Chains A and B, each alone.
Chain A
């Protein structure tokens, strides 16, 4: 039995400023499926429609027929949709975390969402403490810090804590690690994996970093010119190397290196996504003379 479907997007289209001279088509026919507990990645060229699609997942935008968006079993075109409930379940972390900050002090900023949900007093304080600790901003050290004076990495964590404090079931991250140093990236990656393991969270991330997608995602959706061009598990999608190149994307370095070796006549097994996996596959090929390796 496969897990419950959390997100189902079908034939979604979106035009900005329709009917004006500035009309811009962002989505033509986008499809996306995500199951409970999966880490999905949405990739595509700048302008392919990724950020627009994200706005549909918590009904900041609502689809027009025949487009359909169903999130946690709720059709978001439904006029009776409980918006507050959907937005509590679906947490969106945007590209520029500074724009997401509301309050002057870090603790107040994290408290903003749960307070809207009716939490107060000790329960609210405990929720804020939990969310800050989870993202690696120790509560006592950061609760009274000014949000605008935090570093880039701390600001990203704070924006994430503010969303996690709502205890969402689906976390959507738009370029969550852009501009972070390698260590900062690794820490966010570890955190996202932990949230999936411990909280059963479903994740959808938009990223331009193919190494990040390869190391985190179970499933990848490729948008090209407003349409879903490829959708499948991560290994299968990165096997579509030529198609990815045609859509302005690339494979992780490990995939590109294995392909180049095969083109040069070395029988390296396909399928490696990370440097460690490529090292193992190349070592196997080198050790086996019948596969074109060392005699």
Chain B
């Protein structure tokens, strides 16, 4: 393992040095390790998307540094490789598509990176298989369903063989099944060794992560494992953030005196613990 992305004393201000300057991030310290799953949460305007765009040099720090595989994002000649290493998927994939055929959409990135023909074709087919899009390979991306579009946007990134996938509210527009399919795809990719940085308002998605970073007004307000973060009920209330529904039920029952273990976050864990507690001794 080891650091894939290092963020040191990162500050970012929109329209810096103008009267309309808007500070978005202040003195952020963060490390994303190879293969880890990090969730970033916080209010609208807390700086989450700005942070995401700093992770592969789409935005350059106003002060401080971001390093991807030990290359500074300020190094212009490293930027193409960096954007392949750290790939981004946004909320509305329509804004991201550049071709009119799904297969070409997947080929676009690696082709620009100069991947030779035979390998390119093999790679594209592999990615289409991995994302369950083979049957849709000839379709125009704009005619796909919202869930298929999200998977295609991820496929287009995967074809560049990234080491980290940054998802900026990529499931916000999806109905439950489509959302579940995208989350399962992401969890499968993580299990296969890909690092994931997921920006989300959905607290039930946060429970899938290994670490959580909570941003508030451009600064780190809270960080830790989901268990550590969701145990801080009062701090979360101050930050006006929700608990995942299962954790809210578990904590409510604990306060009433139900003998439950601490740190229950998911429906599966809560149900297992309750059935265990209800069993006659």
Contacts and interface: CB of A to CB of B under 8 A. Distances in A.
Contacts of A253: 204, 244-246, 267
Nearest to B202: A209
B176 A295 contact: no
A254 B246 CA distance: 8
A179 B172 contact: yes
Nearest to B179: A208
B39 to A, nearest CB: 14
Interface in B225-281: 240-242, 244-246, 248-249, 252-253, 256, 258-259, 267-268, 270-271, 274-275, 277-278, 280-281
A249 B246 contact: no
A184 B256 CA distance: 30
Contact of B280 (A181, A208, A278, A295): A295
Given A261-B271, A261-B274, A45 B44 contact: no
A257 B246 contact: yes
A275 B245 contact: yes
A210 interface: yes
A182 B201 contact: yes
A200 interface: no
A264 interface: yes
B176 to A, nearest CB: 4
Contacts of B240: 181-183, 186
Interface string A283-295: 1011000001111
A264 B275 contact: yes
Given A46-B173, A153-B44, A248-B175, A265 B275 contact: yes
Nearest to A285: B278
Interface in B189-242: 201, 203-204, 240-242
A138 interface: no
Nearest to B251: A279
A181 B175 contact: no
A295 B177 CA distance: 39
B278 A294 contact: yes
A175 B173 contact: yes
A181 B44 contact: yes
Contacts of B270: 257
A286 B278 contact: yes
A279 B249 contact: yes
A73 interface: no
Given A253-B246, A279-B253, A44 B175 contact: yes
Contact of A45 (B177, B271, B281): B177
A276 B271 contact: no
B79 interface: no
B201 A179 contact: yes
Given A46-B147, A257-B246, A295-B281, A283 B258 contact: yes
Interface string B170-186: 00111111111000000
Given A250-B177, A253-B245, A181 B271 contact: no
A178 B180 CA distance: 17
Contacts of A180: 44, 201
A55 B176 CA distance: 23
Contacts of A252: 245
Given A254-B245, A275-B249, A292-B278, A181 B178 contact: no
B199 to A, nearest CB: 11
Nearest to A293: B278
A20 to B, nearest CB: 13
B259 to A, nearest CB: 8
Contact of A266 (B178, B180, B201, B278): B278
B43 interface: yes
Contacts of B45: 151-153
A208 B278 contact: no
A243 to B, nearest CB: 13
Contacts of B267: 253, 256-257, 260
B44 A261 contact: no
Contacts of A283: 253, 256, 258
Contacts of B13: none
Contact of A182 (B145, B180, B242, B280): B242
Q: Which 9 A-B pairs have the closest CB atoms?
A: A253-B245, A46-B146, A248-B177, A250-B176, A183-B240, A279-B252, A275-B248, A264-B275, A182-B242
Interface of A: 43-48, 151-153, 175, 178-184, 186, 208, 210-211, 245, 248-250, 252-254, 256-257, 260-261, 264-266, 275-276, 278-279, 282-283, 285-286, 292-295
21 contacts: A43-B175, A45-B178, A46-B145, A46-B146, A46-B175, A47-B146, A180-B201, A181-B44, A181-B46, A208-B173, A208-B174, A210-B176, A253-B246, A254-B245, A257-B246, A257-B271, A261-B275, A275-B252, A276-B248, A286-B274, A295-B281
Given A257-B245, A286-B278, 9 more contacts: A46-B178, A47-B146, A48-B175, A180-B44, A208-B173, A256-B267, A265-B278, A283-B256, A292-B278
